[in-house]
A and B are shown apart, each in its own frame.
Chain A
Amino acid sequence: MTSNEITTRDQQPAGAQESALVLWAYEARQAAQVAMSLAKTSFVPASLRGKPEDITAAILAGRELGLQPMATLRSMDVIQGTPALRAHAMRGLVQSHGHRVWLVEQSPTRVVMRGQRRSPGGGYEPEQEVVWTIDRAAQLGLTGKPEWKKQPQTMLTARATGEICRLIASDVLYAMPYAAEELDGDGPAAAVRTSGGRVTAAEIVGDPAPQPEAASDPVQPEAAEDAELDWPEPAQPGGEA
């Protein structure tokens, strides 16, 4: 639908709302051009590589969160069709809005985090605390997943980060409320892993069928691998990270 049609339909002259939309559409086109040239570079995470449309959407979504395009690409992943911020980016975003998030306790079996929302008039609202234990993860059936076996502490921290950030600053995260690590092959919506790319007729009719190439596998997100532990060693309990 063109902007003219919108104007006719709503019976209103071109106003502020329309020019905002036109501006957005202009920016979207610019973003699409940038995405085309970035799509094949290694600056783009594997889950977005070769997908300029997804990169465009990521850049635009990142912009709504106040992120620069290249920062967006370092911060975001598309996990099984759902765009998500990585946990470290989520924490950074919430902190950049003046809210406090810090680590209280961290071990492979238990992670405690606290957060405080900044009040509009200055000062801070009461502290909130989240606790993620390995038992809680086991109850959700997460601990059987490879990433949880390899690095339980990182995964617990990512879960706790997502939860505390949503608790104190959900308004900041409207566009992307879940951390990539929460969706990444271990989340409730991701109880199913996909099978490694499209099925081809040659694969079925040929005998024996060629196995799909690992390199063409679009569904193994890299986020889990590079969900590096970017937390400092726990400071004094209650101390700010």
Chain B
Amino acid sequence: MTAITEPGVYSLPDEVYHADPVPGGSLSASGAKTLLRAPALFQWEREHGRPPKREYDLGHAAHKLVLGVGAELAIVDAPDWRTKAARQQRDEAREAGRVPILAHEHEQVQAMAAALRRHPVASKLLDPDRGGQPEQSLFWRGEENVWLRARLDWLPNMDGPHRPIIADYKTCDSASLPSVRRAVANYGYYIQDAWYRSAVDNVLGAQAAFCFIFQERTPPYLVTVVQLSEEAQAAGRRAMSRAIEIYRDCTESGIWPGYVGDYEIPEIDLPPWTDRYEEYA
């Protein structure tokens, strides 16, 4: 069992990173996002693990082909997961630490990787010749002396001729700017932005830039590369601080509340759009 007790950059298998190798616990960006929804959800996921989701498998397979790292794929030769045999193969693959994927999905993911390699900017951002390492885990002590961790899809080279740019790859239904903007808000990608920049700053003493690479899961697998505005970055830093504070308080008290405290009875108002009905009443 690997135990991380010193800040630094580590090459760890997925499962070691996700099981949190810091004795006493550490907080990741995705943990922070869950914690901000409700501490009880974070605590539950920490004890029980995250339920596997099909979209994660597809995203994971795309990562594997694009970045060349991550858990091995297990290609299941079936049209879908409806037959018992297919489901059994899927469960066995997960059991063995591999990522199950249907044959036609595997073709789809290969086409996605090819499309990504054709994109001039995205391909460069993830180009090993540019210097950098895929899937690196960073550990450090953040505010409040809390241990934090981050797993970067792509850790850029800090000493090269280029400004270091952290790149994070996401698969999505739509890579249009309005959709990407919604995704950044809904899935808390702005928190991830702050988290990873902080990781690189604290562990490597460098100020890196950050780009998200979004790719659609359907042909022609369009790619959109974006960076967050100064305001969005600041919102990420504020959310990060808040999450660390909540984590510290809950760890100290041993109490992980749900959406509201058990002894609180908040008064709620109608949502703002109901005003419109009053107007015509």
Contacts and interface: CB of A to CB of B under 8 A. Distances in A.
A191 B143 contact: yes
Contact of A81 (B163, B165, B207, B231): B231
A192 B198 contact: yes
B264 interface: no
A81 B121 contact: no
A158 B86 CA distance: 65
Interface string B104-135: 00000000000000001100110000000000
Contacts of B233: 80-81, 194
Nearest to A212: B163
Nearest to B238: A189
Residue among B142, B164, B227, B237 with max Cβ neighbours from chain A (10 Å): B237
Contacts of A193: 201, 207
A177 interface: no
Contacts of B142: 141, 191
Residue among A192, A193, A194, A205 with max Cβ neighbours from chain B (10 Å): A192
A196 B240 CA distance: 21
B163 A196 contact: yes
A195 B231 contact: no
Interface in B224-256: 227, 230-231, 233-235, 237-238, 240-241
A188 B143 contact: yes
A98 interface: no
B62 interface: no
Nearest to A79: B234
A209 B121 CA distance: 12
B209 A192 contact: no
B167 to A, nearest CB: 9
Interface in A205-228: 205, 208-209, 211-212, 218-219
B197 to A, nearest CB: 5
A203 interface: yes
A201 B238 contact: no
Nearest to A190: B237
B279 interface: yes
A187 to B, nearest CB: 9
Interface of B: 120-121, 124-125, 142-143, 145, 161-165, 194, 197-198, 201-202, 207-211, 227, 230-231, 233-235, 237-238, 240-241, 275, 279
Top 10 A-B pairs, shortest CB-CB distance:
A81-B234, A208-B161, A195-B209, A195-B207, A192-B198, A209-B162, A199-B209, A192-B197, A204-B124, A81-B231
